Amino acid sequence: MADNSKLQIAMFPWLAFGHMIPWLELAKLIAQKGHKIFFISTPRNIDRLPRLPQNLASMIQFVKISLPHVDNLRENAEATIDLPYDEVKYLKQSFDCLEEPMAKLLQSLAPDWLLFDFAAYWLPARARELDIPSGFFSIFTAATLGYFGPSSVLINDSGDHLKTPEDYTRVPSWVSFPTTISYRLFEARKVFDILISDESNVSHGYRFGQSLKGCDIVAVRSCMEFEPEWLKLLEQLHRKPVIPVGQLPTTTGDGDSDAETDTWRSIKEWLDEQEKGSVVYVAFGSEAKPSQEELTEIALGLELSKLPFFWVLKKRLGQADTEPIELPDGFEERTRGRGVVYTSWAPQLAILAHDSVGGFLTHAGWSSVVEALQFGMPLIVLTCYADQGLNAKLLEEKQIVELIPRDEGDGFFTRNSVAESLRLVLVEEKGQIYRDKAKEMKGLFGDKGRHDRYVDNFLNYLKNHRCLRKGEEINTTV
């Protein structure tokens, strides 16, 4: 007899590892509770995802769907990391050709629910034809979604809102409470081109707008303790249930390979030799890369700070990146013994958890933020693109991070401002507020039981909705 208390959920994230990894974390949390997950992506992306814990392998079924051929898309390019920034539009074109294959796949899988990402704006209507309810799952904070406003604004059919980069530097009119959250002008200029449409593609704004308009519920990587006013605003803007699923702190896979163990052993030996709370950890995520000019100022700022540092440096982002960045001449020689530059994979969670690390210089990608705050790690921020500017302002508003001072127009910053910000957060008395706030946030972001309860609440909603549709008795057991 079938267990009617268990769900079958299809998950379809956008083809970027900054999306797929938190989606997989949510999948694992749901699978731990006995529910079946169909995790849908392309073959190469699925093969590159972290290994599942052995106890969950039977509950998460990876379903491979091949990208259709489109002109100008590079061979074997299946994720944003496989392409230069200006070629991601071809990946979107191929992705949009998945509408019919996805409809057929959903018909064969017949899940109880579909969770989809912003890029698949065409999918909720197809799911509805199959009588499959859908949820838009946002890896972005509630503040980011709230800042961009109602579907009508995103779809761009409601007048003259947000028509220039300068418009993105102001708090929107639909935000009804005091806040400073908006882009700085140099950040707005970077995101403006992806938010508006061009002749060859559908804009991100339109995709978000139609996704939010077409879904039955909105699930957000957030929690009420962190941004309650933004979660309430989302319900007002979209007039549908908005359900936080917790912060989804990253977990590790099923054991470590010998190579990973050896890598951590050598890194740990160096960290063990440093004073408690003295080391700056530097990393900018899997898909963000500073420009050559920015890299030079970061490096020389680290040198000027006189602080020990461990820098995970990606000189290029994948094989398609033909413009590698290089450290300043003599930098590694001058900082030898005080700092380490690591150009291959490094275990970020283990590094952030180490007692000698006292601060994290990062780009404010939300997964990196969550990983740092779950260990009570204060942050020093240099944003690169996308939602990072809004994340940074949200964290600054809560006095959790120090933003390295930059020119508002072009984003320029100096080595001196890097050094001063690092020393402020790690050693100076004035920076004690950041260290204290980070410790306070550890109680929220590091509380796995709390985030687990958010997932319970989310699953109860999905189950109760199914019961109501099928005329079954509502059961609160997860």
Buried/exposed 322-348: b ≥16 CB within 10 Å, e otherwise: eeebebbeebeeebeeebbbbeeebbb
For residue 474, is pLDDT > 70? no
Rg (CA), the chain: 22
Taking every pair of C-alpha atoms in the chain, what is the biggest distance, in angstroms? 71
> What was the pLDDT predicted at 254?
47
> What was the pLDDT predicted at 186?
93
Domain membership flag for residue 3: no
Domain membership flag for residue 477: no
Separation of first and last alpha carbons in the chain: 18
For residue 477, is pLDDT > 70? no
Do 97 and 143 share a structural domain? yes
Give the domain range for residue 288.
258-445
Domain membership flag for residue 95: yes
Q: Considering only residues 2 and 217, tell me which one the structure prediction assigns the higher pLDDT.
A: 217
Number of independent structural domains in the chain = 2
pTM, two decimals, is 0.92
Do 228 and 111 share a structural domain? yes
Do 265 and 327 share a structural domain? yes
Q: Kindly give the interhelix angle for 388-397 and 185-195, rounded to the nearest 10 degrees.
A: 140
Q: How many residues does the chain have?
A: 478
> What was the pLDDT predicted at 159?
46
Do 279 and 305 share a structural domain? yes
Confidence of residue 269 (pLDDT cuts 50, 70, 90): very high
- Reported as a single tens digit per residue, the pLDDT across 141-175 is 999 999 999 999 888 744 456 778 898 999 999 99
Residue 453: how many CB atoms within 10 A of its CB? 14
Do 317 and 199 share a structural domain? no
Do 363 and 437 share a structural domain? yes
Domain membership flag for residue 145: yes
- Reported as a single tens digit per residue, the pLDDT across 344-369 is 889 999 999 999 999 999 999 999 99
User: Lowest-confidence range among 26-40, 44-58, 251-265?
Assistant: 251-265
Do 456 and 422 share a structural domain? no
Do 263 and 156 share a structural domain? no
d(CA 478, CA 475): 8
Pair of tokens at residue 352: 């952030």
Do 407 and 462 share a structural domain? no
CATH number at residue 278: 3.40.50.2000
- Reported as a single tens digit per residue, the pLDDT across 270-282 is 999 999 999 999 9
Taking alpha carbons only, the member of 228, 215, 233 closest to residue 137 is 215
Domain membership flag for residue 476: no
The backbone torsions φ and ψ at residue 397, rounded to the nearest 5 degrees and listed phi first, read -60, -35
- Reported as a single tens digit per residue, the pLDDT across 18-46 is 999 999 999 999 999 999 999 999 999 99
Do 463 and 338 share a structural domain? no
Q: What's the mean pLDDT in 124-143?
A: 97
For residue 255, is pLDDT > 80? no
Do 349 and 432 share a structural domain? yes
d(CA 112, CA 135): 11
Domain membership flag for residue 356: yes
Domain membership flag for residue 158: yes
Q: How far is CA 173 from CA 156, 179, 184, 348, in A?
A: 16, 11, 17, 39
Domain membership flag for residue 2: no
Q: What's the mean pLDDT in 171-186?
A: 95
Do 452 and 422 share a structural domain? no
